[in-house]
Amino acid sequence: MSSTAISVQNLGKCYKIQHQAQRGVKNYRTLGETLSSALTAPFRKLTPGFRDQRSEIRPPTSDLQSSNSNLPSSSRSEDFWALRDVSFEIPKGKVVGIIGRNGAGKSTLLKLLSRITEPTTGRIEMEGRISSLLEVGTGFHPELTGRENIFLNGAILGMPRAEIRSKFDEIVAFAEVERFLDTPVKRYSSGMYVRLAFAVAAHLEPDILIIDEVLSVGDAQFQKKCIGKMQSASEQEGRTVLFVSHNLQTIRQMCERVILLKKGEVSFIGDPHTGINGYLNQNADEQSAAIDLRAYPRQRDHDGAQLLSLKFMDEQGVVAPRVPWATNLLVEVRFRLDRRFRSLDIPMAVTHAEGLRVFSEAYSDQYEKLDLEPGEYIVHLSIPLRFFKLESYFFAIGLFDDGRYGDFIDGLPMPEIFHGNADTHMESHRWGVVRIPVAWKTVQSVSANNLPIFL
Amino acid sequence: MNPSRILPQRLVIEAGRTERHYWADLWKYRELFIFLSWRDILVRYKQTVIGVLWAVLRPFLTMVVFSFIFGRLAKLPSDGIPYPILVFSAMLPWQFFASSLTEASNSLISNANMLSKIYFPRLVLPTSAVIVSLVDFFISFVILAIMMVWYGIWPTWHLLALIPLTGLAFLASMAAGLWIAALNVEYRDFRYIVPFLVQFGLYVSPVGFSSSIVPENLRFWYSLNPMVGVIDGFRWAIAGAQTEIYWPGFALSLFVVFALLASGIWYFRRMERTFADVI
């Protein structure tokens, strides 16, 4: 028995992207499409100008891929390495956090470790009983009662029936759902649902536990309880825990090591402090100067108007990767109109890193809509940062002509918001996704000797 | 409880070699398999108010209509057994085949979330879907028993043959189900093909009539439909000595079932690796 729990060597996962890849496209195809593409393929060779606009992301080993590959001109496919040449070792009993930006390969890595999908290259060796928790409540069925779902979910997570039975009371007590055990879970509140799901998961006793961002669900109190449960397990029972989180506070609190992923490759392995700083700096680096929007991915192609570039600046008008809290963030947007826009509006929106849409505003909220001739334009706006938390947000901006689509870009990472002497503990315990500064009055004593005399 | 029973103590995943553990895993995940079947059965009979009744009513009503159309109106020969018995003894395996095929072909899509969140041998899903249909099948047997009493048909030792024949019907359902389940992940328009296949199959298979009316020179090739062998076998087992099995045809059906099953498993295993990526 070695002291290594997980050993990963040269791990890689490659997806084939066919045609022009866009985000959010379906992965499967219809038989009709395949047949018609097979039938038209010979003709396409004759007319090289013809391009199939449909885009699909295909896995590398599908048989259709190979059947398509002998029709070279019909589909331009491109390799996309979600994960490349990843190697690391994790000793037994360590709690390791995986951090990185969206698309850095965190989820792919967890999927490979949990055997949901196969690696394209490399090798993984794991020692001990493994459980992976990429989602709470996988396999829960709304029609079944709480009791039935505990057994079902336990089986799905790999707990033998006898083990579930012996821990049943403990699970029920942990979830605090005793009274609703025989109620179908479709009648549960979302809080109860999550608590029940998590209670089952928290009672798993694997040697290696792989967790995706699941702690972000549930209320703060319950989250704390779960973290406590997991922490004690790893300390007392020598359990190895590997988990992904965007919550840097949790990572700091729990992990002895972090793995920082960047564009599918390992950029740092080691102590959490250095890793988290590396992650924050990486965010700052990529926030460089003006963002070129001309080739930026869009949900839908621009039409008659195009967003050209965007700058995030501090109050002094200096392009800045980090902007202090309570100041104003200045945004400069350049765009081009290819035709006359009679009633141009410029909407903007801010999304929290967890995906919640925070607010949206438009140029027309303040001024009349614009009647503009074709040409290049520039617009400035200012966002008061005192309404923001010290977290990550995304920016969206668009061009519309009386509701008709011109251009729209979502998901632009906003500069990091920092506060020189913020209490990090306090910051991580704030609720919600924004701050609304409230006016406090100073505390007054209401004890008897302070009361106005005439009472 | 010894934890090593659940997953191997040492797991090696290597590019292109994941399947090494496959068959051992299938055995290790038998408990999940039981639970999934149990869940689907529970849900099925919880959701529909007339759950059990529906399982009984559907084949029964079809049998009544078929007996009337084929037996009374078309006056097809019934090999000396009451027409309703002739139809119902075929209805049993056919209904089982049809509903397993439908359930199995949807099993991966309807559990897409589980596929992308947890590892288990994917074969578990279509198999447990077929098991669920098996419950309806056994319920229908009660109707058959009542009908046999009504028509005064007493079972012979032939009835014992129902055990292997049910197994054969199971394998035939699995064979077709595996193919279509895997195809369905890749090509979603199979969901339109399955209902057609099921409806078409009802008329192409000898459900409403005896396969003895098929012209002698075509009879052998008719058995290329794997359900022909199964249905003929069921009639022979239930109605006793009156019917006879056409052995060359039965052997052909048997061969087709096993060929389909082997190729189905092969295709399913091949596609399985990418299910989570495609679905």
- Which residues in A lie closer than 8 A to residue B279 (C-beta atoms)? 27-28
pLDDT at res. A104: 82
- Which residues in A lie closer than 8 A to residue B14 (C-beta atoms)? 119, 122-124
Beta bridge partners of A126: A6, B11
pLDDT band at A259 (very low <50, low <70, confident <90, very high): very high
Encode pLDDT of A35-80 as tens digits. 666 666 555 444 443 333 333 333 443 333 333 333 343 445 677 8
ipTM of the complex: 0.78
Contact B93, B230 (CB under 8 A): yes
Encode pLDDT of A411-436 as tens digits. 888 888 888 766 666 777 788 888 99
| Contact between B278 and A28 using a beta-carbon 8 Å cutoff | yes
pLDDT band at B7 (very low <50, low <70, confident <90, very high): very low
Could you identify the residue written with the tokens 């449960």? A229
Interface of B with A in 187-216 (CB under 8 A): 187-190
**Higher model confidence: residue A232 or residue B256?**
B256
**Higher model confidence: residue A159 or residue B256?**
B256
pLDDT at res. A70: 39
- The alpha carbon of residue B272 is apart from the nearest alpha carbon of chain A, in Å, by 9
| Contact between B186 and A64 using a beta-carbon 8 Å cutoff | yes
Q: Is A61 on the interface with B (CB under 8 A)?
A: yes
Q: Is A362 on the interface with B (CB under 8 A)?
A: no
Q: Is B73 on the interface with A (CB under 8 A)?
A: no
- The domain spans of chain B are 19-278
Encode pLDDT of B126-150 as tens digits. 999 999 888 888 888 888 899 989 9
pLDDT band at A220 (very low <50, low <70, confident <90, very high): low
pTM assigned to the model: 0.69
Contact A28, B191 (CB under 8 A): no
Q: Is B176 on the interface with A (CB under 8 A)?
A: no
pLDDT at res. A347: 95
Least confident interval from A38-42, A303-307, B89-93, B170-174: A38-42
In terms of Cα–Cα distance, which of A61, A62, A104 is closest to A81? A104
Residue ranges and CATH numbers for the domains of chain A are 83-280 (3.40.50.300), 290-428 (2.70.50.60)
Q: Which two tokens stand for residue A50?
A: 């013809």
| Contact between B273 and A123 using a beta-carbon 8 Å cutoff | no
Could you identify the residue written with the tokens 């032939």? B158
Range A275-288 average pLDDT: 69
Q: Is A124 on the interface with B (CB under 8 A)?
A: yes
Q: Find the closest chain A residue to B43 by CA distance.
A: A143
d(CA A231, CA A253): 10
What DSSP designation does B71 have? I
Q: Which two tokens stand for residue A10?
A: 């040269």
In terms of Cα–Cα distance, which of A246, A238, A250, A147 is closest to A199? A147
